[in-house]
Amino acid sequence: MSMLVYCSVCRTPLQLPPGATTICCADCHATTRIPETRTAPPPYLPSAYNNYYHGQKKAIIIGILYKNQERELRGCINDANHMKDMLIHSFNFTESSIFMLTEEETDPCKIPTKHNIMKAMSWLVDGCKLGDSLVFYFSGHGDQQWNDTGDEIDNYDETLLPLDHKTQGLIVDNDINDIIVKPLPAGVKLHAIIDACCSGTMLDLPYLCKMERSGRHSWEDHSPPSGAWKGTSGGEVISISGCADHQYSDDNIDTSEAMKHAGEMTCAFIQAIEKGQGATYGSLLNAMRSTIATREKKQEPQLTCNHKFDVDMKPFSL
């Protein structure tokens, strides 16, 4: 089975063939040597750095319509623009700290191809340090594919569909975990906000929050049966997604001009923030689920993390 590594010079993600100890980068042509042994990263430190999240903020925002393809979407670029505005006005991100990838971009490096998305993910975590707050946002198609390696409890990998997925393939949850989860150092937090189908465990994080209608919650262990490491190098990763792995994310039917043609999950997320319902992770998740339930949608936003915590007590912030 191939392994994801990074070019030692330009940091481009590369697929290392089984058994190979070196690989040549197609971008810069540098040769990267792979160590024979890889040690597991240290465990997450749940409280030592909680008061030091005042560093750099960085985000990548991806919105894909898949124009002129079989399953063309309508609201994903609107989603991306709404999310960018919210990060700037509600969470003090600067415009220069947000890297946008949509079909409307004129820079070829910002078109949401598989190569560009994976390179942007590498940029997001590259050089991150104590106090940094990172955001990965995706609005587009998600799917599942069969996995027989023992990495998945349900035997399915979750996948994101880049613009060129028909020729370049899917972005698999294992790749996302390798790029933005495993390298994350202590004192850095990353939020993934994913408005896509089959997105419940898109980052392959070990713990899924099971929220009852009453608001009570418990944590379900989704660690790979194979024993593969899916945690971080000490940092904190929290994913908020549009639905469970077996569900589909829908478009919003709100007729207001502000949120016309946008994803249901993205609308519910932004609405909860604007109404002051995002004080804690528990209140945010409950508000999102309640909003979507009133519209009779068959999707339930999910929360996963690399560690367990009290969702009703932990303040939400980006």
Active site residues: 141, 197
Closest to 21 in 3D by CA, of 37, 39, 34, 38: 34
Closest to 301 in 3D by CA, of 318, 275, 276, 278: 278
Secondary structure of residue 139 in the 3-state scheme: strand
Question: CA-CA-CA-CA torsion for 157, 158, 160, 165, nearest 10 degrees?
Answer: 40
Q: What share of the chain is helix, strand, coil (3-state, %, to 5)?
A: 25, 25, 50
Q: Residue 251 and residue 260: Cα distance in Å, rounded?
A: 9
Identify whether the C-beta of residue 267 lies closer than 8 Å to the C-beta of residue 275: no
